[in-house]
Chains A and B, each alone.
Chain A
Amino acid sequence: MRLCIVGIGGCGGHLAERFLKNQDVTLLKKSLGEHVSFGGVKGLWLEADVQETENQNFFGSLEGGRYPGYFIPHDVIGPESKTSKLIVDRYGYDVKKQGFMRQAEFLKAVFEIFESDEEVKRVALSEHESENPILRAAWDRIRPYTTLEALKDNNGGSEMCDGILFIVSLGGGTGTGFVNPITRYIRGERPAYPVFVLGVLTEEGVDPQQRAKEAKRDLGATISLYDLTTKKVGIGVDGVILIDNQIMVEKFGQDYSAIDDYIHQAMRPFIAGRHYPGEDPPSLAMREKFIEGLVRPPILVPCYCRERRREDPEENLVKKALSEGKLFGCDPKNAEMAYVFTRGFMGQGEIVKAVARYTGLPEERIEPWRKLGENHWDEILILLRNPYGEERGCEVKGNLEYRLHRVIRMALNYMDEPESSLVSQGMPELTRKAIEDYFYGDDGIQERLKEGLLRIEKGEKPFFLDERNIFERSSRDPGIHESHRASGRQVDDEEIRKLVEAEVRRVLAERDI
């Protein structure tokens, strides 16, 4: 599996930088050769705030041909855009707003307008040749790194990415607002293309960088998590890897650079190449394992450990990863499945037995993938699938239910605070009503979150059930991708057959079969 890393928003950008760092040497920061990232990953940074992009020097402008690059999707909307004017006049949203400061609902609303309002669609289509020019532009920048582009160009695509990992901060504005719509957009083209999200939940207390209250961030995180976990498989993402920054801050203090480095290190067994011979499944196969038996995307909790190489390391690594190495609090005994990624020399049977011993899982529900290690270190990353669901588990500190119960509670409290001003009085009536209904209506998010809290307390899985939109779509069916419709092109059986054949050929070629 080779992943395309897409950092979205500030936190996503910082983390993506770790993943995309050039492993080659450079002279005076200029590389004359091809960019070589760890694990062969490729990717980019999607940002909404121009200033953020100017405050760093790792990513260059994709428009200027730089790699790794950043892209500001809403830049495709010109200042005199009719689409933009229509949305401002009708809904009060400025689609060219710089940054979304902890307002997860802002982008959610904007993208739902593009999906639900026929007139906006029509104007956008005539002006930008796309019903949703912002998402189209973003996807057009991601797509060239993926095997989908390789199939289109009829090349082998062995260097291309066969899956996407979005990296976002849960509780931010850009990342949380962007990830669901872009995933939905991708699904319109490829329902089975593997898409995962790495979501970092911000720490407790006041955010020292943006002075944003925890409750406000928690509302953003809750909205984002709600959207991520309620979209059905094939429409939404294939897995949400959760990391709790509270645990990271307890480990590293407020040193966010060290935290980013550690998160990258912990994810290395997942993205690394150099597989054990015959143990490199195509990402489609891995996706199937991740969503096996599920209707909605799973929550995946990473547990990581790294130690100097020694004889029979499996038991010790598994034990430490599942105790001291959890990147989000949870009880491993509640996990439904475990996906194990190792680097070093480890026995498959020993890994499975050790994980079974410490999680109580039957061996057939443990999937190990081994890779060769480096410099005498052994590493293990265990992704625990949905490790929650215990009655009154929310009362046990260190459990996933405990942390998320707190987050949802605080989000609900924030919704009731007069200062939250979720329903802005300055907005047009249509938007005000839709937002009010979304947050406080009988079937609004407030009621659904309360229901979610009850489900957590009872130990029911999943804790969020049905998706909730601000602006209802004309059709919930993602259907054929609008870019295809715009060009009047239909995908027929013959083309599907060719695409499948090409993909199979690529996989077989990769394995020399």
Chain B
Amino acid sequence: MSGLNETVAGVQAADISSSLVPEGLSNALASVSSNGLLGLGLFILILALGAALHRLNMERTYRRVAATTNGGEISGEELREEMFARQGSNFNAAAITAWMLLFAAFAYFYFLTPEIFPRHNYYQVPTLSSGPLGFATFGLMVLVLTLVAAAFVPRELYGYYELSRKTKVAIMLTLPLLAISIVLSIQQGTIFPQVELASRITAFLALFASELALLWPIYVEALGGMR
């Protein structure tokens, strides 16, 4: 496997020099996108920060409502009920799909080819990787595994925010963005052991831009509340 990684590194170096992106930036992106632990950490950090800020937003709303209510006592459950706003079934369906695709795109990006996590990847499961529908099965498994989480996340997250149509459209646009990320990751898997760095960087940017977009309403609410 170490020989394989050397090959990958050589191809990466060749790709960087042919890129149209400024070399420094390209190098930095290549380095970040190829660093599995950093990517994994960043992905989890953005998610965890989103969850923490959502909790903070909810608590802050509770405190503010309590502070402006005579006696300062309100039922948290009642407040949550009042805060809940229907966002529409088109949006909910799009959001659930987007969250499922986010996890799938993440898995395809980091766990499809061995150059990022040499010991934990698709090629480590021979029955899967040598099957005719290996890539698709891999993706479907991730989708099934994340279905419950993805179905829960939009209702729990977006239901408590007043989302403008523009925000909803932005969240909906993560669908094609994540599809691009997945397609490019599959391309990496197809041409492996070669690596096309431009595709890899694009897939990486699409993945993380989508993650940020999906959590954007929470970040905006938290940032605005700090003013």
Which residues from chain A sit less than 8 Å from chain B, CB to CB?
A: 22-27, 31-34, 36, 40, 273-278, 280, 309, 345-349, 370, 372, 374-376, 512
With contacts A277-B74, A278-B78, A348-B68 known, is A23 near B165, CB below 8 A? yes
Nearest-Cβ distance from residue B79 to partner chain A, whole angstroms: 5
Q: Return the 7 tightest CB-CB contacts between A and B, nearest first.
A: A24-B88, A33-B89, A374-B162, A376-B224, A345-B64, A277-B78, A36-B88
Nearest-Cβ distance from residue A379 to partner chain B, whole angstroms: 12
Kindly list chain B residues whose C-beta atoms are within 8 Å of the C-beta of A277. Answer: 65, 69, 74-75, 78-79, 82
Nearest-Cβ distance from residue B84 to partner chain A, whole angstroms: 8
Q: Which of B28-36, B90-98, B126-134 contacts A (4 or more CB under 8 A)?
A: B90-98
Q: Which residue of A lies closest to B95 (CB)?
A: A25
Q: Which of B65, B94, B164 has a CB less than 8 Å from the CB of A372?
A: B65
- Give the CA-CA distance A375 to B70 in the complex, in Å: 24
- Give the CA-CA distance A349 to B75 in the complex, in Å: 20
Q: Which residue of B lies closest to A23 (CB)?
A: B88
How big is chain B's contact interface, by range? 35 or more
Kindly list chain B residues whose C-beta atoms are within 8 Å of the C-beta of A372. Answer: 61, 65, 82-83
With contacts A277-B65, A372-B65, A376-B225 known, is A24 near B89, CB below 8 A? yes
Query: Does B38 belong to the interface (CB within 8 Å)?
Result: no
Kindly list chain A residues whose C-beta atoms are within 8 Å of the C-beta of B61. Answer: 372
A512/B78 in contact, CB under 8 A: yes
Query: Does B146 belong to the interface (CB within 8 Å)?
Result: no
Which residues from chain B sit less than 8 Å from chain A, CB to CB?
A: 61, 64-65, 67-70, 74-75, 78-79, 81-83, 85-94, 162, 164-165, 168-169, 172, 220-221, 224-225, 227
- Give the CA-CA distance A23 to B87 in the complex, in Å: 7
With contacts A23-B165, A277-B75, A375-B224 known, is A345 near B82, CB below 8 A? no
Judged by DSSP, the binding face of B is helix
Nearest-Cβ distance from residue A164 to partner chain B, whole angstroms: 22
With contacts A276-B65, A277-B65, A372-B65 known, is A22 near B88, CB below 8 A? yes
- Give the CA-CA distance A395 to B169 in the complex, in Å: 52
With contacts A33-B88, A274-B83, A277-B75 known, is A346 near B168, CB below 8 A? no
| Subset of 16 A-B contacts with CB under 8 Å | A23-B87, A24-B88, A24-B89, A26-B90, A32-B89, A34-B88, A36-B88, A273-B85, A274-B83, A276-B65, A277-B74, A278-B78, A280-B82, A309-B224, A348-B69, A349-B70
With contacts A24-B90, A24-B168, A36-B87 known, is A275 near B82, CB below 8 A? yes
Kindly list chain A residues whose C-beta atoms are within 8 Å of the C-beta of B221. Answer: 375-376
Nearest-Cβ distance from residue B151 to partner chain A, whole angstroms: 16
Q: Which residue of A lies closest to B92 (CB)?
A: A33
Kindly list chain B residues whose C-beta atoms are within 8 Å of the C-beta of A276. Answer: 65, 69, 82
Kindly list chain A residues whose C-beta atoms are within 8 Å of the C-beta of B225. Answer: 376
A348/B70 in contact, CB under 8 A: yes
Nearest-Cβ distance from residue A280 to partner chain B, whole angstroms: 8
Kindly list chain A residues whose C-beta atoms are within 8 Å of the C-beta of B162. Answer: 274, 374-375
Q: Which residue of B lies closest to A30 (CB)?
A: B90
Nearest-Cβ distance from residue A53 to partner chain B, whole angstroms: 25
B88/A25 in contact, CB under 8 A: yes
A36/B86 in contact, CB under 8 A: yes
A345/B67 in contact, CB under 8 A: yes
Q: Which of A33, A40, A309 has a CB less than 8 Å from the CB of B93?
A: A33
B94/A25 in contact, CB under 8 A: yes
Kindly list chain B residues whose C-beta atoms are within 8 Å of the C-beta of A26. Answer: 90
Q: What 11 additional pairs, Cβ within 8 angstroms, besides A24-B89, A25-B169, A33-B89?
A: A22-B88, A23-B165, A25-B168, A25-B172, A34-B89, A277-B74, A277-B75, A347-B68, A348-B70, A372-B82, A375-B221
Kindly list chain A residues whose C-beta atoms are within 8 Å of the C-beta of B64. Answer: 345
Kindly list chain A residues whose C-beta atoms are within 8 Å of the C-beta of B172. Answer: 25
Nearest-Cβ distance from residue B179 to partner chain A, whole angstroms: 15
With contacts A372-B61, A374-B162, A375-B224 known, is A24 near B87, CB below 8 A? yes
Nearest-Cβ distance from residue B40 to partner chain A, whole angstroms: 31
Kindly list chain B residues whose C-beta atoms are within 8 Å of the C-beta of A34. Answer: 88-89
- Give the CA-CA distance A23 to B93 in the complex, in Å: 14
Kindly list chain B residues whose C-beta atoms are within 8 Å of the C-beta of A278. Answer: 74, 78
Kindly list chain A residues whose C-beta atoms are within 8 Å of the C-beta of B87. Answer: 23-24, 36
Nearest-Cβ distance from residue A477 to partner chain B, whole angstroms: 42
- Give the CA-CA distance A25 to B65 in the complex, in Å: 30
Nearest-Cβ distance from residue B80 to partner chain A, whole angstroms: 10
Q: Which of A22, A25, A345, A512 has a CB less than 8 Å from the CB of B68?
A: A345
Kindly list chain B residues whose C-beta atoms are within 8 Å of the C-beta of A375. Answer: 162, 164, 220-221, 224
Q: Which residue of B lies closest to A342 (CB)?
A: B68
Q: Which residue of B lies closest to A375 (CB)?
A: B162
- Give the CA-CA distance A376 to B64 in the complex, in Å: 12
Nearest-Cβ distance from residue B86 to partner chain A, whole angstroms: 5
Kindly list chain B residues whose C-beta atoms are within 8 Å of the C-beta of A32. Answer: 89-90, 93
Nearest-Cβ distance from residue B48 to partner chain A, whole angstroms: 24
B82/A25 in contact, CB under 8 A: no
Nearest-Cβ distance from residue B227 to partner chain A, whole angstroms: 7
Q: Which residue of A lies closest to B171 (CB)?
A: A25
Q: Which residue of B lies closest to A374 (CB)?
A: B162
- Give the CA-CA distance A374 to B164 in the complex, in Å: 10
Kindly list chain B residues whose C-beta atoms are within 8 Å of the C-beta of A346. Answer: 68
Q: Which residue of B lies closest to A376 (CB)?
A: B224
- Give the CA-CA distance A63 to B20 in the complex, in Å: 58
- Give the CA-CA distance A25 to B97 in the complex, in Å: 14
Kindly list chain A residues whose C-beta atoms are within 8 Å of the C-beta of B220. Answer: 375
Nearest-Cβ distance from residue A376 to partner chain B, whole angstroms: 4
- Give the CA-CA distance A156 to B194 in the complex, in Å: 63
Nearest-Cβ distance from residue B104 to partner chain A, whole angstroms: 21
Q: Which of A31, A40, A347 has a CB less than 8 Å from the CB of B90?
A: A31
A25/B165 in contact, CB under 8 A: yes
Kindly list chain B residues whose C-beta atoms are within 8 Å of the C-beta of A309. Answer: 224, 227
